[in-house]
Amino acid sequence: MGYRKNLSKGLLFLFYTFSLFVNRKIGIPFIEVVLIKDVIGK
């Protein structure tokens, strides 16, 4: 269970950094907002 939680956290971090990269390129903060809400919700 601990390994699985770590894995999902790593994937979330990767997706977050990717969304930041996309955000700088295209300028859409939607993905970032959703991810921040998801992180705060947990």
Query: What are the tens digits of pLDDT across the range 14-38?
Result: 888 887 777 676 655 666 777 777 7
Rounded distance between C-alpha atoms, residue 25 and residue 18, angstroms:
11
Regarding predicted confidence, which is higher, 13 or 32? 13
Q: Is 28 left (phi over 0), alpha (psi -120 to 50) or beta?
A: beta
pLDDT score of 28: 56
pLDDT score of 16: 83
pLDDT score of 33: 74
pLDDT score of 29: 63
Rounded distance between C-alpha atoms, residue 13 and residue 16, angstroms:
5
pLDDT score of 42: 62
pLDDT score of 5: 79
